[in-house]
């Protein structure tokens, strides 16, 4: 039986999350102490060689991103670190767990990351509905200032960092890094065109490192225990653990920290208590609304960034929404499309018109229609056009659930499978 491998969540439920002394007694801020004794480039190399990949969804190399940011706009007077704590992807609540139960861990990771790229200012862009996360992170920041882990001359190293919280106002799109930067500058949450990337020109035009909460929570562990230690978890190209959030038709929905490379079957049967009422597994939506459906043939595939990408699926944020034999896939697909229509900022036509059109066609797919096969093909073509012509990743996303649902469940979606 597979068990949880708790490295990120090792303190959760074991220490008083409100006490910085408890965190320190459990080895906290050792990674920071060590990092401050290292050159910024050495910190980046350690993370690069540990193979840490961003946990916000895209799985991009964290060390590489830090390297780009540390080299971006050398003449700029300031650099920033921004923590993406917006957590808007449906079915995802892993950052909340870290922020509520071990907030000093990601704070420590943020300070180390700031040292690596020589940032002197930082923001935590935190979802406004996460009241407890806000309250606890605010307190943690205060405590870190009191102990000299934030502010001027951190632990006598000569490194300075000021960190503050900015609250997101509930827009899914503001979780997208460039839109987040606009929002941080006090502007409307519309995306920016890239390039330039945040590493070159981020918040207030300065080089900016944007990282997810879970990504940053890995950083102190890698620095204090080393890349070799870290690489014992996960796989060669997807090292470490991932916090999966599983919901839907399983007996024990919740969050589970597991080594990357576990299979969906193991996640469901060993951790999540199996399928509810003994029903058969039909499908899972991996990675939230901007994710992909997978069918039973994928149950034994390894959940890693590369393996899933090779199979046309996504790991994304680690959300897993499970459907049983009698759940209509169309219902979830329709909800994803409605979600995109609701969250589209309306700035560009392909997404503004396309998301509305897809919802209407999805309704037609559910009702009576003379040519459902043709309708589904038309929706796929439209979503593909949106993917290649929309301004930002939101408009490029509806094709993911739509195409994967059509791959596994075309008969059901078009009514061909009915007697």
Ligand X SMILES: Cc1cc2nc3c(=O)[nH]c(=O)nc-3n(C[C@H](O)[C@H](O)[C@H](O)COP(=O)(O)O)c2cc1C
Interface residue with ligand X, options 38, 48, 58, 73 (CB under 6 A): 58
Site for ligand SF4 in 307-346 (CB under 6 A): 344-346
Site for ligand X in 75-134 (CB under 6 A): 84, 86-89
Q: What is the largest CA-CA distance in the chain?
A: 74
CB of 365 vs ligand X, minimal distance in Å: 24
Placement of tokens 């106002």 in the chain: 169
Site for ligand SF4 in 136-175 (CB under 6 A): 173
CB 214 within 8 A of CB 97: no
Task: Count the neighbouring beta carbons within 10 Å of the beta carbon of residue 306.
Answer: 16
For ligand X, which stretch binds (CB under 6 A), given 28-36, 133-141, 205-213, 261-269? 205-213
Measure the CA–CA gap between 125 and 63, rounded to whole angstroms.
21
φ, ψ at 283 (rounded to 5°): -160, 160
CB of 382 vs ligand SF4, minimal distance in Å: 14
φ, ψ at 286 (rounded to 5°): -100, 130
Interface residue with ligand X, options 28, 51, 54, 63 (CB under 6 A): 54
Site for ligand SF4 in 388-417 (CB under 6 A): 390-392, 394-395
Measure the CA–CA gap between 412 and 419, rounded to whole angstroms.
11
The interface partner of residue 60, options being ligand X, ligand SF4, none and the CB cut-off 5 to 8 Å by kind, is: ligand X
- Which residue's CB is nearer to ligand SF4, number 231 or number 352? 352
CB of 391 vs ligand X, minimal distance in Å: 11
List, as own/partner pairs, every contact residues 56-62 make where C-beta atoms lie below 8 angstroms and the sequence separation is at least 24, other chains included.
56/84, 56/211, 56/212, 56/214, 56/215, 56/317, 57/89, 57/212, 57/287, 57/290, 57/316, 57/317, 59/238, 59/305, 59/315, 62/211, 62/215, 62/218, 62/219
For residue 17, give Cα distances in angstroms to 9, 100, 383: 12, 7, 45
Read out DSSP for 91-157?
T--HHHHHHHH-HHHHHHHHHHHHHHHT--EEEEEEETT-HHHHHHHHHHHHHHHHHTSSBSSGGGS
- Which residue's CB is nearer to ligand SF4, number 316 or number 393? 393
Interface residue with ligand X, options 40, 90, 109, 175 (CB under 6 A): 175
Q: How many residues bind ligand SF4 (CB under 6 A)?
A: 14
Listed in order, strand segments (DSSP E) in 144-273 are: 162-168, 208-212, 241-248, 254-259
- Which residue's CB is nearer to ligand X, number 60 or number 204? 60
- Which residue's CB is nearer to ligand SF4, number 179 or number 247? 179
- Mask for 176-195, x = binds ligand X (CB under 6 A): xx------------------
CB of 340 vs ligand X, minimal distance in Å: 9
The interface partner of residue 348, options being ligand SF4, ligand X, none and the CB cut-off 5 to 8 Å by kind, is: ligand SF4
Site for ligand X in 355-414 (CB under 6 A): 393-394
- Which residue's CB is nearer to ligand X, number 84 or number 249? 84
Placement of tokens 């650099």 in the chain: 79
Helix axis angle for 62-71 and 103-117, nearest 10°, is: 40
CB of 265 vs ligand X, minimal distance in Å: 26
The interface partner of residue 344, options being ligand SF4, ligand X, none and the CB cut-off 5 to 8 Å by kind, is: ligand SF4
Structure-token pair, residue 162: 């000021």
Interface with ligand SF4 by CB under 6 A: which residues?
A: 173, 191, 344-348, 351-352, 390-392, 394-395
Residues that bind ligand X (CB under 6 A): 54-58, 60, 65, 84, 86-89, 172-173, 175-177, 210-212, 215, 393-394
């Amino acid at each position: 039986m597979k068990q949880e491998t708790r490295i990120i969540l090792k303190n959760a439920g074991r220490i008083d999350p409100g006490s910085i002394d408890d965190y320190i007694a459990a080895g906290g801020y050792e990674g920071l102490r060590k990092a401050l004794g290292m050159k910024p480039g050495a910190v980046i190399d350690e993370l690069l060689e540990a193979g840490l990949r961003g946990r916000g969804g895209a799985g991009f190399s964290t060390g590489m991103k830090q390297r780009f940011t540390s080299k971006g706009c050398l003449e700029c007077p300031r650099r920033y670190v921004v923590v993406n704590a917006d957590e808007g992807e449906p079915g995802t609540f892993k950052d909340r767990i870290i922020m509520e139960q071990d907030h000093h861990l990601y704070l420590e990771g943020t300070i180390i990351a700031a040292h690596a790229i020589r940032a002197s200012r930082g923001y935590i862009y935190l979802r406004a509905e996460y009241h407890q996360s806000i309250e606890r992170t605010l307190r943690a920041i205060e405590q870190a200032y009191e102990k000299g882990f934030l502010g001027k001359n951190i632990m006598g190293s000569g490194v300075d960092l000021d960190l503050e919280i900015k609250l997101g106002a509930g827009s899914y799109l503001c979780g997208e890094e460039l839109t987040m930067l606009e929002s941080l500058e006090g502007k409307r949450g519309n995306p920016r065109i890239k390039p330039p990337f945040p590493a070159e020109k981020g918040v207030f035009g300065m080089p900016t490192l944007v990282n997810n909460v879970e990504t940053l929570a890995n950083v102190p562990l890698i620095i204090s225990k080393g890349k070799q230690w870290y690489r014992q978890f996960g796989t060669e190209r997807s090292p470490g653990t991932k916090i999966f959030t599983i919901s839907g038709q399983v007996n024990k929905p919740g969050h589970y920290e597991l080594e990357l490379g576990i299979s969906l079957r193991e996640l469901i049967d060993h951790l999540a208590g199996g399928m509810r009422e003994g029903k058969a597994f039909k499908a899972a939506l991996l990675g939230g609304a901007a994710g992909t459906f997978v069918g039973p043939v994928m149950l034994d595939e390894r959940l890693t960034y590369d393996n899933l990408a090779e199979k046309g699926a996504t790991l994304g944020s680690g959300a897993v929404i499970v459907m049983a034999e009698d759940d209509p896939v169309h219902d979830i697909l329709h909800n994803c499309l409605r979600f995109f229509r609701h969250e589209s900022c309306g700035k560009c036509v392909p997404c503004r018109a396309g998301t509305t059109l897809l919802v209407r066609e999805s309704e037609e797919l559910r009702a009576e229609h003379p040519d459902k096969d043709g309708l589904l093909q038309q929706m796929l073509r439209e979503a593909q056009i949106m993917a290649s012509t929309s301004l930002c990743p939101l408009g490029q996303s509806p094709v993911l659930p739509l195409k994967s649902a059509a791959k596994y469940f075309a008969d059901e979606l078009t009514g061909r499978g009915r007697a």
